[in-house]
Structures are given as structure tokens and as C-alpha cells.
Amino acid sequence: MTTLAEIEEEIQNVLSVADELDEEQQPTALQYLDELGIQETQKADGVIYAIRKRQSEIHFLKEEEDRIRARRKSAEKRLQEFKDYLTGIFEREGISRIKALKGTLYLRQSTSVEVTDIDSLPADLVHTKVSFEPLKKDIKEKLKKEVDVPGARLDTRKQLCVR
């Protein structure tokens, strides 16, 4: 099967010798160019179809990720509610341990820290994070105005678009 690049190259080859063709060869060359144009269109349609199919697959996968994540979070919440319910029963009935064939249910004392006012904590008990995020929009504006911005440059590239 002919590639899009080969079709483009063949069109350029025919066009480059078009001035050298006599009147008898020109209709054949024009017909061949029409055939190449049809091949080019069919190939481009195939490429567009492949791109759109991949985009559709990616969109579907993102939706599935969101759906599965929501389902997992819901299951985690239901599990925690069930454990809280069982904890309430254990406490109400004064049960500390139940042994079964597949495992043991028991209450365990645990502690956790709840910070009520982070500003009141001593500095040695607070981890400070400093984050630098470049203001790309502002940098781009300066670079477009040909202002030198150390540590940044304007990167121009071509991007394939499908409509």
C-alpha cells in the first residue's frame, strides 16, 4: 500500500516535469494527477479516521477511569460505614473480640493527631514547602516582544490538527 509521503512525492514529481510534457502527454499526466489526488484524499481520510478513533478510545478510557474511581470511593465509604456500625455494636454490647473460622474481629485503640490551628504550631513541627511555578503566559508575552527572559525561550513547533 502506498504511503501518504509517497503519494505527495509522486505528485511533486509529476508537477516538476509538467512544463516538459508535450500536448499529447498532458491529458495523461492530468488524469494521473487526478488519480493521485483521489489516493491522497483516501489516505488522508484513513489517517483522520485513525486519529479520531484513538481520540475516542482515550475519551472512553478517561470516562471509565472516572467511573471506576467513583465506584471505588463509594465502596471504600460503604466499608468504612460498615466498620463504624460494627464498632458501635461492639462498644454498645461491651464486646472486645470475636474469634471466627476465617479471622478475628476486635477493637483496637488508636490515636491520631488533629491540627486545629496550623499557624499556632511551633516552626520545628511544621514542614514548609516552597513551590515555584513559572507564569508561562507572562513569559510568552515578554518573549514575543523580544524581551530577554533568562531561563526561558520560545519554542515554536507545528501541531497536526483534525477538524
* pLDDT attached to residue 159: 81
Secondary structure of 59-116 in HEC code, one letter for each residue: HHHHHHHHHHHHHHHHHHHHHHHHHHHHHHHHHHHCCCEEECCCCEEECCCCCCCCCC
Single pTM value for the model: 0.60
What is the spatial distance between Cα 21 and Cα 3, in angstroms, rounded to a whole number? 26
Q: CA 24, 25, 28: angle at the middle one, nearest 5?
A: 110
Widest CA span of the chain, in angstroms?
Answer: 106
pLDDT of 1 reads 59
pLDDT band at 125 (very low <50, low <70, confident <90, very high): very high
Average pLDDT over residues 68-82: 97
pLDDT in tens, 49-61: 999 999 999 999 9
What pLDDT sits at residue 152?
A: 94
- Alpha-carbon span 115 to 43, nearest angstrom: 62
Report how far apart, in Å, the C-alpha atoms of 26 and of each of 22, 30, 31, 34 are. 6, 6, 9, 12
Residue 121: is its pLDDT beyond 80? Answer: yes
**Considering the chain, what percentage of its residues have pLDDT values greater than 70?**
99
The pLDDT-based confidence of 135 (bands split at 50, 70, 90) is very high
Sign of the alpha-carbon torsion through 63, 64, 69, 74? positive
